[in-house]
Amino acid sequence: MDKRRAEALRIFEAGVKAADPYAAVAGALDDVDPPALIVAVGKAARLMAQAALARFSGVTCLVVTNYENAAPLEGATVMAAGHPVPDANGAAAAKAVIAALHAAEGPVLALISGGGSALLPAPAGALTLADKAKVNEMLLGSGLDIVAMNLIRQQLSDLKGGGFLRHAAPRPVTALILSDVIGDDLSAIASGPTVGPIGTAQEAILLLKEAQLWAAVPQAVRQHLETVQEPVALPAARNKLVGSNAKSVAAMKEAAGAAHLIAEPIIGDVADAARLICDRAVIGTTVWGGETTVVLQGSGRGGRNQELALRIAVEAERRGWVAWTCLQGGSDGRDGPTDAAGGLVDQDTLGKITGLDARLANNDSYAALDEAGDLLLTDATGTNVADLGVMIRSG
């Protein structure tokens, strides 16, 4: 690995380390009352729970996380579930969490991280898991941002949008939250199980119509959204943010030394984001964070980070750059339904790819980057604070 690639990877790893779930929770427990129940959900759930159990031993603890991050944890029941598309194991885990909330004999400590929305599918009303999985699959390729997707998901769930609090009541709930949402809207992280809903059923209908999905979602979903009653007021909860994308980007800037920071989060369509990044990248090192979107037009494999990395390579070549390296990756170590975290590209990437235009049109960024040998392959990191990027440019 050449020097620029090694340096980009080192800076990225500093950002991931800043989102360490164990340290984030351990540093936030001093003013938390001993709980009777700990529920940890999300991609960072296992490490968050481990930190809580180091402080509060002998407490009933349920952990729900994705398959890559699931491993036994002393003192806890660990349940693995599907992400990003919900599955039957997630539905079973949701039932177990609801039962534990009803059985708790005192305060509840919730440990929440990104991915929790898909990992705890508790269909509302007469909806089925298949209904929810179908909607979730459609949302992932819709181009809607994470807040809009979570608004819709909340309206289809018995746990999201504050549903966790209703099942816990009258037991007090404290939630420590690791944010994967740009802007750190607590109601959007994991679809806000301990926070009020982002919006209403009518707003969910409007978003589905604007995304041209309304006619395609299952009939049961349309019926539910058109007839559901607005929920009563939520019980109070104490919600505390313990980690975020902004904190990780700041850590990358510090690790890089004299790096230029793109201050605003990189969001929106990947093609627009690639142009913005190249507009802002300076000679030297540039870092950023965010979470882009992809409107799926084809049947290829990939994810938003892989496609953004590939489009940055296209944009850099168009501008005549001759000496640069860019890393674009998911802080969780996984990008879309693949084993890659993103892409690590440079001035030589495009020359190693055949049929580039067709692959971009087919959203087949994984195959393109794999051919170039430029996939960013990491283990699952055990955390999730959205996406991180580094550009090192000398010409």
The predicted-structure confidence for 34-60, as pLDDT tens digits, reads as follows 999 999 999 999 999 999 999 999 999
Taking residues 347-372, report their average pLDDT: 96
pLDDT of residue 174: 98
Taking residues 232-254, report their average pLDDT: 92
Best CA proximity match to 388, nearest among 281, 192, 247, 185: 247
pTM > 0.85: yes or no = no
pLDDT of residue 133: 86
pLDDT of residue 29: 97
pLDDT of residue 85: 83
What is the residue-wise DSSP string for 236-292? P-EEEEEE-HHHHHHHHHHHHSS-EE--S-EEEEHHHHHHHHHHHPPSEEEEEEEEE
pLDDT of residue 364: 96
* 374 has a pLDDT exceeding 90: yes
Query: The domain containing residue 109 runs over which residues?
Result: 20-243
Same domain, 181 and 102: yes
Lowest-confidence pick of 10-19, 291-300, 362-371: 291-300
Same domain, 57 and 125: yes
Q: CA dist 59 to 31, 46, 53, 80, Å?
A: 17, 15, 7, 20
Under the banding of pLDDT at 50, 70 and 90, the label for residue 188 is: confident
Same domain, 331 and 233: no
CATH number assigned to the domain comprising residue 320:
3.40.1480.10
How high is the mean pLDDT of the chain? 94
Under the banding of pLDDT at 50, 70 and 90, the label for residue 308 is: very high
What are the pLDDT digits (tens) for 120-134? 999 999 999 999 889
392 class by beta-carbon count within 10 Å (0-12 exposed, 13-18 middle, 19+ buried): buried
What are the pLDDT digits (tens) for 197-212? 889 999 999 999 999 9
DSSP label of 75: T
Sign for the CA dihedral angle at 139, 140, 145, 146 comes to positive
What are the pLDDT digits (tens) for 320-339? 999 999 999 999 999 988 99
Best CA proximity match to 87, nearest among 133, 140, 150, 134: 133
CA distance 13 to 328: 12
* 230 has a pLDDT exceeding 80: no
In angstroms, what is the C-alpha Rg of the chain? 21
Same domain, 290 and 370: yes
Same domain, 287 and 202: no
- Compute the CA torsion angle 116, 335, 133, 166 (nearest 10 deg): 10
Best CA proximity match to 265, nearest among 246, 286, 250: 246
- Number of domains forming the structure of the chain: 2
CA distance 153 to 280: 34
* 71 has a pLDDT exceeding 80: yes
More confident position, 234 or 365: 365
Taking residues 270-288, report their average pLDDT: 97
pLDDT of residue 198: 86
Highest averaged pLDDT of the listed ranges 80-84, 174-178, 181-185: 174-178
Same domain, 138 and 255: no
Domain boundary among 218, 243, 268: 243
Same domain, 178 and 151: yes
**Does residue 385 contact residue 244 with C-beta atoms inside 8 Å?**
yes
CATH number assigned to the domain comprising residue 213:
3.40.50.10180
* 145 has a pLDDT exceeding 80: yes
Same domain, 104 and 196: yes
* 283 has a pLDDT exceeding 90: yes
- Compute the CA torsion angle 355, 358, 359, 362 (nearest 10 deg): -160
Mode of pairing for the β-strands spanning 375-376 and 342-346: antiparallel
- Compute the CA torsion angle 230, 107, 52, 92 (nearest 10 deg): -50
pLDDT of residue 232: 72
Domain boundary among 209, 243, 277: 243
Same domain, 283 and 236: no
Helix (H, G, I), strand (E, B) or coil at 333: coil
Give me the amino acid identity at 347. Q
* 216 has a pLDDT exceeding 80: yes
Same domain, 136 and 196: yes
Taking residues 238-251, report their average pLDDT: 95
Under the banding of pLDDT at 50, 70 and 90, the label for residue 150 is: confident
With pLDDT > 90 as the criterion, what percentage of the chain qualifies?
85
* 316 has a pLDDT exceeding 90: yes
Domain boundary among 216, 243, 270: 243
At a CB cut-off of 8 Å and minimum separation 6, what does 192 contact?
A: 150, 154, 160, 161, 162, 186, 198
Same domain, 101 and 197: yes
pLDDT of residue 395: 82
pLDDT of residue 245: 95
Same domain, 204 and 143: yes
- How far is residue 271 CA from its own chain's centroid? 20
Residue 154: count of CB within 10 angstroms of its CB = 28
More confident position, 294 or 395: 294
